[in-house]
Amino acid sequence: MKNRLNINLAGLELGNPTMLASGILGHSAETFETIVEGGAGAIVTKSIGVKPRKGYANPTVVQTNCGLINAMGLPNPGIAEFVKEIREAKAVLKVPLIVSVYGYSVEEYASVAERAVAVGADAVELNVSCPHVKETGSEIGQNPQVLAEVVRKVKSTVKKPVIVKLSPNVTSTADVAEATVKAGADALTAVNTVKAMAIDSETALPILTNKFGGLSGPAVKPIALRCIYDIYERVKVPIIGCGGITSWQDAAEFLLAGASAIQVGTAIATKGPSIFKNITRGLNAYLEKKGFESVNEIVGLSHRK
Ligand SMILES: Cc1cc2nc3c(=O)[nH]c(=O)nc-3n(C[C@H](O)[C@H](O)[C@H](O)COP(=O)(O)O)c2cc1C
């Protein structure tokens, strides 16, 4: 069978354009293998920092009628411990392993990225877009000068592709994307969760311990699509679409808007790891029916005049 779904993404060879989104499911090699068996073309790990972090007390996740709001608080074992997981995952995975990195300073981002790459990460994805932890995440991603400094420093430190994950919680994602690419980003992921909250009418209090969290799932899809469409018009690097993808039709829409690949997060909870195979099967049939030889041919197609 002709493989219409192979892509080269900023130097990474993927058998198909689907990836596990950061932070969904655990971070062990075993879980990643399950996701690859489900058909994912690449894995992105949970965001890892310099030191271990417990995350917030429960409740950290609220279900709404259009998706989830989470304020996990970036729980992670810290890079010194996580290097073991990276080594183990690299020993068994046949797809690229992308390590998501966060930090509280330019130096912390560079240090975690360097240690991840040293033990085999194929690329890093910089989380400059988490909406619920102070002094990192979107507080960096919403400030183009600091963001550019982070990207420049990581680029000068590691020799692997540097992907930057953007926030939808800014006035213009395209402006931020442009500054990020000027600073040297090899690819962009768009988008992280949308800042949100939930209130319990019985207790008359916010439900999440952190009050605010990030909305993911179907509610986010039209916002993510708009961000990708805007970014595609402004930058030339590959865009990885993320936000509310639950079917191959959603994935096709993201590609048509300008994404070269897509990530799936929340939908894994409802549809299981085989969602990746369902998306790739559906995309392949769509490309065949429409007469396309490669998935690359539909990237940005909705922009034609
Ligand atoms: C429980 C949960 C944890 C997440 N943790 C991270 C994280 O550690 N780093 C990150 O960059 N994004 C994180 N995200 C955001 C997802 O990677 C993704 O950008 C977002 O959920 C939108 O995609 P989706 O609608 O397919 O879930 C998390 C999302 C959820 C629901």
- On whether the CB atoms of residues 214 and 192 are closer than 8 A, the answer is yes
The residues lining ligand 1, judged by C-beta closer than 6 Å to any ligand atom, are 21-24, 46-47, 68, 70, 72, 74, 100, 127, 130, 165, 192-193, 216-217, 220, 242-245, 264-267
Q: What is the 3-state secondary structure (H, E, C) of the chain?
A: CCCCCCEEECCEEECCCEEECCCCCCCCHHHHHHHHHCCCCEEECCCECCCCECCCCCCCEEEECCEEEECCCCCECCHHHHHHHHHHHHHHCCCCEEEEECCCCHHHHHHHHHHHHHCCCCEEEEECCCCCCCCCCHHHHCCHHHHHHHHHHHHHHCCCCEEEEECCCCCCHHHHHHHHHHCCCCEEEECCCEEEECEECCCCEECCCCCEEEEECHHHHHHHHHHHHHHHHHCCCCEEEECCCCCHHHHHHHHHHCCCEEEECCHHHHHCCCHHHHHHHHHHHHHHHHCCCCHHHHCCHHHCC
Strand partners, 93: none
| Residue 267 Cα: closest atom of ligand 1 | 26
Query: Average pLDDT for consecutive 10-residue bins of the chain (305 residues)?
Result: 88 98 87 96 97 95 95 96 96 97 96 98 95 82 92 98 96 96 98 97 97 97 98 98 98 98 96 97 98 98 93
- The pLDDT score that the predictor gives to residue 28 is 84
Measured in Å, residue 243 CA sits from the centre of ligand 1 at 8
Query: Looking at ligand 1, which residue's alpha carbon is closest to its atom 26?
Result: 265
Predicted pLDDT of residue 138: 82
pLDDT value at residue 130: 85
Q: Cα of 35 to ligand 1 centre, how many Å?
A: 15
Ligand 1 atom with the smallest distance to the CA of 193 is: 20
66 as an active site residue: the answer is: no
Confidence (pLDDT) at 140 = 86
Q: Which residue has the tokens 């073309």?
A: 41
* Ligand 1 pocket: which of 35, 102, 193 to mutate (most atoms within 8 A of CB): 193
21 Cα to the center of ligand 1, angstroms: 6
Atom of ligand 1 at shortest range from CA of 216: 25
Choose among 163, 169, 49: nearest CA to 97. Answer: 163
Name the closest-CA residue to atom 10, ligand 1.
Answer: 22
Q: Would you state the pLDDT for residue 37?
A: 97
Using CA atoms, how far residue 10 sits from 1, 30, 111, 213, 270, in Å, is: 25, 27, 22, 31, 31
Q: What is the pLDDT of residue 2?
A: 62
Q: Which atom of ligand 1 is nearest to the CA of 67?
A: 25
- Confidence (pLDDT) at 214: 97
